């Protein structure tokens, strides 16, 4: 199973100036819970935004640069190669962004784990449209904002509709 994980606002916004748009500890915990123990694939810009390897996960970073090296991550030159390495490690693999990588992997993903943040914020990076003909929402759990999580948000699961 190949799962895309994303947190997005009401206009599909996901980032601005290579940073996330919010600080939601409950979403960070959710991300950690679903991805820990499995390989994660990300674009070079998302890796640089995080700044260090995510622990307890094989971090596979996609880049076209051939002179870039970082300790503790696997750097590959294409998404195909990233998927190939990840599948060798585990059946459950996760694609964790950013916008550029999401655009190129919606077709190959089986599932989307979306955190829909009830916010409308300035952004320069967006998640692709979730086409309702292709994706069916199979689960939704919503949380109200509190003193640490400053927006209402919902965890949503989408499964790709199987073509007959």
Q: Sort 23 into a burial class: Cβ within 10 Å, 0-12 / 13-18 / 19+.
A: exposed
Q: Which range, of 72-80, 83-91, 138-146, 156-164, touches ligand NAP by CB under 6 A?
A: 72-80
Helix (H) or strand (E) holding 82: helix 79-89
d(CA 99, CA 103): 6
Residues 134-163 that bind ligand NAP (CB under 6 A): none
Give 58 or 97: the residue with its C-beta nearer to ligand NAP: 97
Helix (H) or strand (E) holding 137: strand 135-143
Of positions 28, 34, 63, 111, contacts ligand NAP by CB under 6 A: 63
* Residues 100/61, Cβ–Cβ less than 8 Å: no
Of positions 4, 6, 54, 83, contacts ligand NAP by CB under 6 A: 6
Task: Give the residues lining the site for ligand NAP (CB under 6 A).
Answer: 6-8, 14-15, 18-20, 42-46, 49, 62-65, 77-79, 96-101, 104, 125
């Amino acid at each position: 199973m190949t799962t895309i994980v994303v947190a997005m606002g009401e206009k599909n916004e996901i980032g601005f100036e290579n940073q996330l748009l919010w600080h939601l500890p409950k979403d960070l915990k959710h991300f950690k819970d679903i991805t820990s123990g499995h390989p994660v694939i990300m674009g070079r810009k998302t890796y640089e935004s995080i700044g260090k390897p995510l622990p307890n996960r094989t971090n596979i970073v996609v880049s076209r640069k051939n002179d870039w090296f970082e300790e503790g991550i696997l750097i590959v030159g294409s998404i195909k190669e990233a998927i190939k390495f990840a599948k060798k490690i585990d059946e459950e693999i996760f694609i964790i962004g950013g916008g550029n990588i999401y655009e190129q992997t919606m077709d190959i993903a089986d599932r989307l784990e979306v955190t829909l943040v009830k916010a409308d914020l300035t952004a320069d990076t967006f998640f692709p449209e979730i086409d309702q003909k292709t994706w069916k929402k199979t689960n939704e759990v919503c949380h109200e904002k509190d003193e640490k999580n400053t927006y209402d948000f919902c965890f949503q699961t989408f499964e790709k509709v199987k073509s007959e």
